[in-house]
Amino acid sequence: MLSEIDVRNYALIERLSLRFGNGFNVLTGETGAGKSLVIDCVGLVIGGRASSESVRAGCDSAVVEAVFNISDVPDVEALLLEQGIDPEPDGTLIVTREVSRQGRSRCRLNGRIVTLTALSAIGERLVDIYGQHEYQSLARPSRHIGLLDAFGGARLEQVRDSVRQLYEEWRECEEELAELRQHARERAQRADLLAFQVNEIESANLEPGEDVHLVAEQTVLANAESLYDAVVRAYSLIYESSYPDIASARDMLGEALEELDNASRIDGTLTSLAESLSALCDHTTEISRALREYRDSIEFDPERLAEVEERLSAISRLKRKYGDSLADVIDHGQLAREELESMTGAGRRVDELEGRSAALSEELGNCASKLSAMRCEIAAELEKEVSRELRDLSMPHAVFKVDVGRKRDGHEIVVDGTPVVIGPDGFDDVEFLFSANPGEEPRPLARIASGGEMSRVMLAIKSVLAVADAMPTMVFDEVDAGIGGEAAIAVASKLANIGKVRQVLAVTHLPQIAAVADNHYAVSKLERSGRTEVTVEKLDIEERVTEVARMLAGEAPSSVTVAHAREMLSRR
């Protein structure tokens, strides 16, 4: 609901603050007083077109700020969250629109700067403006299907929600299928490559650290002769000298031990040294035995050397292709195996999805057919209701039709053997058609030339859909154009009835309409400091009597006219 609007430096408005009430709010005033300026400001603050020409002369910018209560509009709260704006706990939403002299526009929601697109998306859920202006939701065919469904009530809404859920499930299934099918060739090529890699790596039977051990073995095998010669010489020098004139280290240590043993019998202090030398002789014997065993183990095996070098060469080739180390090659093989297994499952997934898509498509088609049949029944009811309302609005020959046709754009399914285009709302396209005169074929509402006809058609439809339509605030500009007498009373009654369930703001020249409003605002022009300004005042009961009397008889109403005005107001 629109609670308050504050305007600064917009056209002929220097400063204006208005608080609107619940129910039916009416704006009245002389022709040219500036009533439409107030409507323009409302349109601007919900995302309407901005122009630098709207900035008051001598000012740098115009600012329009509006306060809404969005407690009962969950769609708007969701859109705010998408913009990163947390709704206020009390449901207050402050919308600010600033237009500069250079034509630049700035939008704010609760103080946060947003794009005009974001403001428009929120604004179109807060206020609908009907009449001579560009915000005419009923002239947009895309809105018609939602209004028809709302008129259908909870039962139709339940079927429609089922269609939407089935459609989303079907679309998700089809999108995954399309993705799998689109990349089938790439997956097959990738699978062949992976299979080759897995086979090449796994057939090598690699062991972690194997290359390190092979390099060590290769070194030993390649130097077997040198190793043998070195070990033989070492053994000879330590234990069994092969040189007649040179004693081995073990023999020399044995002679030294014999001398110390003899000396220690004379000087007991040498005993510990003799014991150490004895241990050294034993250790030398152990070393000699180990050297002998090593000497005997040395193999001169060219075939084994060739095998090792061939194995190392194979590992090197794998490293060049799959990793810097043997561990990298083994890891690559494992990952390739896992990816290959997942690709093998893609074929099974396609079969599974194709079966699920077929089942969902059939269920979706049946549910959408049921929804379409319900819409056709409800469309006939809506036609009768709106046509009756139009007769009350002095349009006795008007014809209102609801055209329920088939979608032309969207995704295709097969229903009963016939291809049908479908969307989240089923396979129906709904458009409201209208004819004002006998013999004329009903045409789309968007092609109605007369603003007055459009306004009355809007009022008739809104009278029927007021409860169903979730729009919080409805603005009717010049809805009374070209009517009077009983038709004016009917229009007044309808606006008052809509005001019982929605906030209504209407600009009118008819006293019959002004008299039934819950809140009455008078718009006037005055001259101040040589400049013209538009002002708006909320009227109390006596001021309303004076204003309604003026609307009845002009600026100098008689006492009879004043009494008539008082009587009209008393009937509210």
Q: Indicate whether 40 and 96 sit together in one domain.
A: yes
Q: How many CB atoms lie within 10 A of CB 498?
A: 23
Mean pLDDT across the stretch 287-291?
89
pLDDT in tens, 335-379: 988 888 777 766 677 888 888 999 999 999 999 999 999 999 999
Look up residue 254 and give its two tokens: 């044995």
34 and 97, same domain (yes or no): yes
Asked if residue 168 is part of any domain, the answer here is no
Same domain, 544 and 523: no
272 within some domain: no
State the average pLDDT for the chain: 86
Distance CA 66, CA 107 (A): 12
DSSP H helices in 17-88: 35-45, 74-82
Q: Which of 144-153, 268-277, 464-473 has the lowest mean pLDDT?
A: 464-473
> Does the structure show a pLDDT above 50 at 231?
yes
What is the rounded CA–CA span in Å between residue 123 and residue 115?
12
**Which tokens sit at 567?**
């009587």
- The pLDDT, as a whole number, for residue 482 is 66
Q: Are residues 84 and 14 in the same domain?
A: yes
Same domain, yes or no: 496 and 570:
no
Residue 133's pLDDT is 45
Please report which confidence band the pLDDT of residue 147 belongs to, taking 50, 70 and 90 as the band edges: confident
How far, in Å, CA of 121 to CA of 429, rounded?
A: 22
Helix (H) or strand (E) holding 256: helix 249-266
Range of the domain at 481: 1-126+473-538
Distance in angstroms (rounded) separating the CA atoms of residues 412 and 427: 9
Q: What is the mean pLDDT of residues 117-134?
A: 79
Asked if the model's pLDDT at residue 102 lies above 80, the reply is yes
The per-residue pLDDT for 165 is 95
Q: Is the pLDDT of residue 462 over 90?
A: no
516 with 549, same domain: the answer is: no
DSSP state of 480: T
pLDDT tens digit sequence for 473-510 = 988 887 776 667 777 888 888 889 889 888 999 998 89
Output the pLDDT for position 134.
Answer: 40
Strand order through the sheet with 428-435: 399-406, 428-435, 443-444
What is the C-alpha separation between 130 and 423, in angstroms, rounded?
29
Number of domains comprising the chain? 2
Q: Provide mean pLDDT across the span 146-158.
A: 87
Res. 135: pLDDT tops 50: no
The yes-or-no verdict on residue 400 having pLDDT over 70 is yes
Domain annotation covers residue 401:
no
pLDDT of res. 429: 93
Domain membership of residue 121 (yes or no) is yes
Residue 130 CA to residue 149 CA, distance in Å, equals 21
* pTM (two decimals): 0.60
Residues 486 and 560 reside in one and the same domain: no
Mean of pLDDT values over 124-152:
75
- Judge whether residue 450 has pLDDT over 90: no
Q: Exposure of 340 by Cβ count < 10 A (0-12 exposed, 13-18 middle, 19+ buried)?
A: middle
Please tell me what DSSP assigns to residue 426. Answer: B
Note whether residue 150 is domain-resident: no
Average pLDDT of the segment spanning 408-414:
85
User: pLDDT tens across 43-78, in order?
Assistant: 999 988 888 888 888 888 999 999 999 988 888 888
Q: Are residues 28 and 87 in the same domain?
A: yes
Same domain, 532 and 559: no
**Which is more confidently placed, 266 or 97?**
97
Residues 76 and 34 in one domain: yes
pLDDT digits (tens, 9 = 90+) for 178-193: 887 777 677 778 888 8
Give me the mean pLDDT over the 466-472 stretch: 73
pLDDT for 107: 92
What percentage of the chain reaches a pLDDT higher than 70?
94
Please count the CA atoms within 13 angstroms of the CA of 449 that sit on its side-chain side.
0
Q: How is 131-194 classified by DSSP, letter by letter?
A: SSSS--GGGSHHHHHHHHHHHHHHHHHHHHHHHHHHHHHHHHHHHHHHHHHHTHHHHHHHHHHH
In a domain, 42, yes or no: yes
Same domain flag for 492 and 572: no
